[in-house]
Amino acid sequence: MALSGPRIAPKRGKATELVILVHGYGADGEDLIELAEPLSQALPGAAFVAPNAPTPCPGARFMWFPITDLNPRSMHAGVTAAAPVLKTAIEAELSRLSLGVDRLALIGFSQGTMLALNLILTGLKPAAVVGFSGVLTGMDAAPADLPPIFLAHGSADEVIPVDALFMTAGALGARGARVQWHLTEGLGHGIDGHGLNLAGQFLASAFAGTLAAEGPASSVLR
């Protein structure tokens, strides 16, 4: 399925990386495409695409799947149904830019983080994943070689409680993923500048192949 949504070309030359920005419930790609400008400081060769979810959201813009409650198990069916639609759109963007999946990074916010994590657990192998204010909804099976993951969360998140950060990081780390995380004191359900800067540095290192290969499976970035 082809998805609409904003795109931003690299700051210089032909795209050498693709960053897919996956919005949350009730939003659209315009909510996240503004992250491209600060991220491009660390990723000048990256093209940015922020697809709109295909389903209208009652009283708002779009949603990847309906939410009846915030229990991760309740949301898992929606995640697994929506993820293939996003994967098809990602593959189309990679083809458009003539890039391999190893030059792909996923950045999700809230519902978008749930989808990004599901995709790597079901076989997609990007260079890295960044998840803001999200949660792992389920992990029935997982490849042995998960990509590096950076998670960020606010201590005052009123939508997805901060415990979700530690549960998600711990579960992914237990499966062998290299997980780094950042907690912003006082931040609600959102993205702060420092967390975004850390995400840009993390992705630049992942694309360059310079992320530390040793150390704990789950570690904090400050």
**Could you tell me which residues come within 8 angstroms of residue 55 by beta carbon, excluding any fewer than 6 positions away?**
62, 63, 64, 65, 66
**pLDDT greater than 80 at residue 142:** no
Domains of the chain, earliest start first: 7-220 (3.40.50.1820)
**pLDDT greater than 60 at residue 91:** yes
Q: How many CB atoms lie within 10 A of CB 119?
A: 23
Fill in the amino acid letter for 138.
G
User: What mean pLDDT is predicted for residues 195-212?
Assistant: 93
More confident residue, 181 or 140: 181
SS3 for 63?
A: strand
Q: Structure pTM?
A: 0.94
**pLDDT greater than 90 at residue 73:** no
- Reported as a single tens digit per residue, the pLDDT across 2-31 is 789 999 999 888 999 999 999 999 999 999
What phi and psi values does residue 14 have, to the nearest 5 degrees?
Answer: -75, 145
167 exposure class (CB count in 10 Å sphere: 0-12, 13-18, 19+): middle
- Reported as a single tens digit per residue, the pLDDT across 36-66 is 999 999 999 999 999 999 999 988 899 999 9
Q: What is the pLDDT of residue 222?
A: 58
Q: What is the pLDDT of residue 70?
A: 79
**pLDDT greater than 50 at residue 220:** yes
**pLDDT greater than 90 at residue 144:** no
Residue listed under structure tokens 């949350």 = 24
